[in-house]
Chains A and B, each alone.
Chain A
C-alpha cells in the first residue's frame, strides 16, 4: 500500500513514545549509569569508565554462559522449526478437528512459565514423575539434578514441549493462505508430495517462518524462569544460561557494575542478531509486495 507523507502522524505515536520512554529508556539509562561507575555503598558513586566491560570480557563466566546460551538456542531452533512445520503439514485443514487441535496445541503457550518449569520438574522426577519413573523402570539412568546431560535433555524437551506449537501455528497460518488453485495446478502437473512442499508450501510459509525464527530466537535467548525452576542452573553451572547468570549477579550478589556491563552486552548481542533477522524479514515482505 502506498502511504502518504504526514508528519502529524507523530502525534498518534506520541502516547507509545511516552509510555515506552518511562518503561524502557529510563531503566536502560540506569543500567548504563551503573555500568560505568563503581560504588562503596552509601550511594556514593564514582566514575569507573569501561573497567567493568573489560572485566566482564575477560571473565570466563560470561563466555561460558554465552556459549551455553548459543548452544541452547541453536538446538531448540533446529528441533522446533522442522518439527513445527511437520506438525502444521499434518494438521486437519478445517472443521471440528482443526479447532480441537488449535485449542489443545495452544494450551502450553498459556501456562505461566514457572508452572511450565514445575510441570517438568515433577514429570521428570524419578520418584513421583511419570517420565522419570518410566525411564527408571526401563533401566535408563536418568537424573536431571546430578547428570548434566540429563539436565540438558530435560530443559530442551521442555522447551520443545512449550514452544513447538507456536511454530506450528505460524506455519499453519501460512499454509491456510495458499489458494486451492495452486494445489490443483500441482495435481495436473503430477508433482510429487516433496515438490509440492518445496515449490508451493515452503515459499508461501517463508514469511511467517521468519517471524517464527525471530520470535523463537529472541525468547529462547532470554529464557529464565523455566530452566531456573527445573535445574536452578545446575548441576554446577552446566545449565546456567545468560539470564540466570545475570539475575544471580544483579539480584543475588548485588554486583551492580559488572551486572550492568553484562546486561548491556547481552542486550547488544540480541539486538544485533535480531536486526539481521528483521532486515531479512522486511526484505522478504517487500519482495512479495
Chain B
C-alpha cells in the first residue's frame, strides 16, 4: 500500500530461490480469483447498463452487441433522476462536515484527558453505532416531522450523525493517541491558546486521520438507505430511493436501473482513489 508508510524489505528476504517464486505466484492466483469474484457482479451491471432492454431480455450475451448509451442519457437529462444524485451528495457532505466538527474536540478530550465518566461515555457513544437503523426509522420520522425538518437535506444529515459521529470519534481518537503529548505541552508553553494550537498545529498533524474519518462518514452516509428513504419524499429524495421507480407498469426497466446503479458507484470509486494509501489504516480505525 502506501509507499511512504512501509519500510523497504531487505534484499535477502525477497530474493529467494524457486520456492519463493512459487509462493508469490500462488498469492497472485488467490488475489486474481478474489478480485474476479468481486468484479464479476459489477461487470454484469455495467454490461447491462450498456445494453438495450430488448437485448437484456431476449438474448443472453456476455458483452453488449448493440452498445448504447441511452440508459445513461435518460438519467443525466431528466432532473427527477439526476437531482437524486445532487440530493444524496448534499446530505452526505453536510453530514460529513457536522460529524467532523463535533467529533474533533470530543476525540481530543478522550485521547488526552481523564474525566468523570469518560469510559462509560465512550461506550455509550459506540452503542449508537450499534443501534439498528430499523429501530430508529419510525421515531426519526415523527421527530423530524414535528420539528418541521421532514424532507430536508439537514434532516437526513442529522439522522446519519447517529452512527457517523461515534465512528468519527473512534477513528480520530485512535489517530490522536499516536501524537505525542509533549507537542501539546510545548505549544502551551510557547503561549498558544487552545483554539490556535488545535487549528494551527494539531489538526495538520492528524490530517490523514481527518481524511480517513471524513472518508468513513462519506461512505456510511452514502450507502445508507433505510433512514434517508424514510425521512424524504420529494425534495431531498436520495438516488438510491429513486431507483425503485424503474419498476413501471410494463415491468422493470433493467437498462436504466443498471445505469443508475453504475452511477452510484462512481463517487465511491473516486473517493477511494484519493484515500487509497490510508485506507487500510483507516479501516483499522487508526489503531495499528
Q: Counting CB contacts under 8 A, is B287 at the interface?
A: yes
Whether B261 and A115, one on each chain, are in contact in the complex, defined by CB atoms closer than 8 angstroms, is yes
Min CB–CB distance B200 → chain A (angstroms) = 17
Whether A112 and B38, one on each chain, are in contact in the complex, defined by CB atoms closer than 8 angstroms, is no
Q: Counting CB contacts under 8 A, is B240 at the interface?
A: yes
Contact pattern, A 8-45, Cβ under 8 Å of B = 1, otherwise 0: 11101101100110111011101100000000000000
Whether A113 and B6, one on each chain, are in contact in the complex, defined by CB atoms closer than 8 angstroms, is no
Contact pattern, A 122-146, Cβ under 8 Å of B = 1, otherwise 0: 1100011111010000000000000
Chain B interface bracket (under 10, 10 to 19, 20 to 34, 35 or more): 35 or more
In the assembled complex, which residues on chain A have CB atoms less than 8 Å from the CB atom of B285? 211
Interface hits, B136-182 → A, CB 8 Å: 136-140, 142-143, 158-159, 161-162, 165-166, 169, 177, 181
Given known pairs A122-B258, A266-B135, the reply for A176 and B5 (CB within 8 Å) is: yes
Whether A92 and B27, one on each chain, are in contact in the complex, defined by CB atoms closer than 8 angstroms, is yes
Min CB–CB distance A117 → chain B (angstroms) = 9
Q: Counting CB contacts under 8 A, is A233 at the interface?
A: no
Given known pairs A99-B1, A110-B265, A161-B38, the reply for A24 and B280 (CB within 8 Å) is: no
Q: Counting CB contacts under 8 A, is A58 at the interface?
A: no
Whether A115 and B137, one on each chain, are in contact in the complex, defined by CB atoms closer than 8 angstroms, is no
Whether A94 and B44, one on each chain, are in contact in the complex, defined by CB atoms closer than 8 angstroms, is no
Whether A123 and B261, one on each chain, are in contact in the complex, defined by CB atoms closer than 8 angstroms, is no
Q: Counting CB contacts under 8 A, is B125 at the interface?
A: yes
Q: For the complex, what is the distance from the CA of A15 to the CA of B168, rounded to whole Å?
A: 14
Chain A interface bracket (under 10, 10 to 19, 20 to 34, 35 or more): 35 or more
Whether B127 and A271, one on each chain, are in contact in the complex, defined by CB atoms closer than 8 angstroms, is yes
Min CB–CB distance A217 → chain B (angstroms) = 9
Contact pattern, B 1-42, Cβ under 8 Å of A = 1, otherwise 0: 111011101100100000000000011001100110111111
Given contacts A28-B139, A106-B276, 11 further A-B contacts (CB under 8 A): A16-B106, A20-B128, A90-B27, A99-B1, A102-B1, A102-B280, A104-B38, A122-B48, A174-B288, A180-B13, A246-B135
Enumerate chain A interface residues (CB-CB to B < 8 A): 1, 3-10, 12-13, 15-16, 19-20, 22-24, 26-28, 30-31, 86-87, 89-95, 98-99, 101-115, 118-120, 122-123, 127-131, 133, 161, 165-166, 169-170, 172-174, 176-177, 180, 183-184, 187, 207-208, 211, 218, 221-222, 224-225, 242-243, 246-247, 250-251, 256, 259, 263, 266-267, 270-271, 274-275, 278, 285
Q: What are 27 of the A-B contact pairs (CB < 8 Å)?
A: A3-B111, A6-B113, A12-B105, A15-B101, A15-B102, A16-B125, A20-B128, A28-B135, A28-B139, A92-B31, A94-B2, A95-B3, A112-B222, A112-B240, A119-B45, A122-B258, A128-B48, A128-B60, A130-B44, A169-B280, A170-B284, A172-B1, A173-B284, A211-B285, A225-B225, A243-B133, A274-B127
Enumerate chain B interface residues (CB-CB to A < 8 A): 1-3, 5-7, 9-10, 13, 26-27, 30-31, 34-35, 37-42, 44-45, 48, 56-57, 60, 62, 98, 101-103, 105-106, 108-116, 118, 121, 123, 125-140, 142-143, 158-159, 161-162, 165-166, 169, 177, 181, 219, 222-226, 230, 239-240, 243-244, 254, 257-258, 261, 264-265, 267-269, 271-273, 276-277, 279-281, 283-285, 287-288
